[in-house]
Structure 1
């Protein structure tokens, strides 16, 4: 991959690597990427990691903010993601607000696993509002766990990718990892936990207050959401929008805002988001 990008040849030579090419500038750039890849050598190196390093190298982002898990290494894809990871490390509570595809939830889950594997927290708690996209739980079949499972699936998917299906199931069954609807948080205090509230735009003000007052000693909390995808009943204020404005002055809290420019999915996704945002602005005017 690096050979085609920089138009160089990369070959092992005894205990070193030999780089050849027509452009010294490209040789130096390839060398920088290889040096950055060295700490990851004990783990599988995939094209996504290389792409992340290339993007960071172009944006001069500090690479100390990679996430090293037992199964894989995750690097921020852009400077905004690196700043987000820095916020999580340095604040007790971080709000991440922005469109889908910016890595808000994915990176938060990765950070949670990293903190757990390093022994900095004792459990992981992933929470989502149970009602989205106009569906009322009372009209869905099954018990409450079965009803909310589809809404929690994105978090399960991230867990399975990062720590494997068997390990995730083992930790879930032992209650080290909890994936639960927001209503289950009432009356609890979570100490030494990494807590993530996902899709927080669909909380009411009182629900958000209830959630935030569950934070206990030694805990780290991340709240993620997209204010363009609010599914609350008409006339109901979003607890996420309210909390971001209300709590912004608090030193221990950081508010991190993503835009469509930080979307790391297919390039078409950014353009689609921009078009919908523009239409929404025109509608409000």
Structure 2
């Protein structure tokens, strides 16, 4: 084969390859490649709940009705009653239906040992551990891949309660979690963030206030309970749906009246530890 003929065929092959990847014909080629590579690294996970989400007991039915009819809903009750989970599912439905544009999630930045300042990363990374209890509910509602996309697109927005000041939240579903640990001042600030088309869901358990917190939740419920736009739903032990053992644990703690904390608890614990260490210390 002559050199000229080989050169001509080589040129034709290059032109055909170029035609297959011309930007004007395949503007999304790079995006498709990135998506394919991402899917290979992390398989997509779909929602666990294909059908409509239904309330499971009387407490959840009252809570569900309140979320559909009121602008502000308080859910007060023990762990395992599905307060946060059901609120996330209804928020997801509102977002998918185009009723709202964003879902905000907030909670007081109350720490047992380590504060925001000691955690690494920017504010979003520091606040992420506080959202772990809600992530499973979001995965159930959207699937893991879509949930992560919505967070990156800032459609699902985590906001520490302390950083709510100055915002007006419009056309949004706002889930305030663990609010028994919010102060009276924080409640006033948070409640006045409500804007047009927004719905506030405020969850907590007044029997599980962390140490050193003067909770403003009870006063907020008392004051706002007079308003027709506000609903208050009380959950009891009988509404626990997460695991049967949780109900037994709650009953044991509450029946023994040891869920309330007093300053003397730490003193008694320290004195008991000192007595134990003294009794077990080696003698010369």
Pick aligned residue for 2:187 from 185, 201, 208: 208
Pairwise mapping of residues 1-285 of structure 1 onto structure 2 (< 5 A)? Answer: 71-233=50-212, 236-280=213-257
Q: Deviations over 1:136-188 (max 9, x none)?
A: 33343443333221111112221122101121122112211112211221110
The unaligned stretches of length 5 or more in structure 2 are 1-45, 262-284
SS at match of 1:238: coil
CA distance in structure 2 between the partners assigned to 1:125 and 1:282 by the alignment? 30
Number of aligned residue pairs = 216
The unaligned stretches of length 5 or more in structure 1 are 1-43, 47-68
Q: TM-score normalised to the size of structure 1?
A: 0.70
- Aligned Cα root-mean-square deviation (Å): 2.2
SS at match of 1:280: coil
More strand by share: 1
CA distance in structure 1 between the partners assigned to 2:75 and 2:259 by the alignment? 25
CA distance in structure 1 between the partners assigned to 2:151 and 2:128 by the alignment? 14
Q: TM-score normalised to the size of structure 2?
A: 0.71
User: Does the CA contact (< 8 Å) of 2:124 and 2:158 recur in 1?
Assistant: no
Counterparts in 2 of 1:140 and 1:111: CA distance versus 1, 3 Å: same
SS at match of 1:73: coil
CA distance in structure 1 between the partners assigned to 2:114 and 2:257 by the alignment? 23
Q: Which has the higher contact order (CA 8 A, sep 6+)?
A: 2
User: Does the CA contact (< 8 Å) of 2:208 and 2:259 recur in 1?
Assistant: no
CA distance in structure 2 between the partners assigned to 1:126 and 1:199 by the alignment? 11
CA distance in structure 1 between the partners assigned to 2:259 and 2:144 by the alignment? 45
SS at match of 1:125: strand
Comparing 156-165 with 269-278, greater Cα deviation is found at: 156-165
